[in-house]
Structure formats: C-alpha cells, structure tokens
Amino acid sequence: MSKEIITNRPSGIASSIYPKRIPKIKVGAIKDELGFTLSERLALRQAWNLIRPFERRYGQDVFYSFLNDMYWGINKFRDGRDLNLKAMHSHALQFIHFFGLLIEEADPVMFQLMTNDNNLTHSRCKVGINQEIKVLQEV
C-alpha cells in the first residue's frame, strides 16, 4: 500500500485556481469614467428631463442673468459697434442645449471631444476667466 501524504496545500493545476484571491472590496458607490456614480447619473438625467421641455426659457433666464452680473460679456456679441442680437439670443439656447448633450453623452471620449471643441470656440472668441479679469483690470 502506497503512503499518501496528505497536506493542506493543493497540488497540480488546482493550486493555480484555488484558493481564489478574494477581490479587493471597494467600499462605497462605484464611479464611472467621468466620476459620476450610478445614482448621480440617474439624478442628472432625470433633472435634465424636467428642464429639456423648457430649454429656451431656462437658457434665457440663466444666460441673461449672467449677462446682468457680468455686463461686459455682452461685448462678445458685437459686430463692430452693433449688438448681434440674433447671435446673443441663439447663444442663450445653444449654451443650455450643450449641457443637455453632455448629460446624454455616454461615451467619455466623445464627452471630452465636445468639451475641448467648446473650449476652443470660447478661447477663439476670448471668452474665459482670464479674459474677463483682463477686461476688469482695464476698467
């Protein structure tokens, strides 16, 4: 009769499978590539669904109150001396519509491309915190 040595250690192929490592437990909500948890994303989408039917009204409320506070921003919508009202009014809608597109975008690469593109448009038009500070210093 052969003598079997019984150990606690598994042998052969089984040893590379068992015992399995316990995966690291992540405490708390898991965030997606953009840093949102599932419930944050859900809340954001639901909030956007409430706003979407009134895009134009909210867009105007937010953008015109912004221009009331940061009144020099209106100069970004001038063609020479004249105020380009069409560009200013459509921006009030475009700006909120853009937030909607960002909220609905699931692909983080597209999200990044969209924000980069928007940043480029605004730096081309010299819109940004640094430009506003420069204007304030000149006043």
Phi, psi of 79 (to 5 degrees): -105, 95
Q: How far is the CB of 10 from ligand HEM (least distance, A)?
A: 59
Residue 48 within binding range of ligand HEM, rule CB under 6 A: no
Q: How far is the CB of 19 from ligand HEM (least distance, A)?
A: 53
* Pure H helices in the chain: 14-17, 38-51, 55-69, 85-104, 108-124, 129-138
Residue 122 within binding range of ligand HEM, rule CB under 6 A: yes
Q: Which is nearer to ligand HEM, 2 or 95 (CB)?
A: 95
Binding mask of the shown chain, residues 80 to 119, with x at each position contacting ligand HEM by CB under 6 A: -------x---x--xx--xx------------------x-
Question: What Cα–Cα distance (Å) separates residue 122 from each residue in 15, 20, 59, 66?
Answer: 60, 53, 18, 16
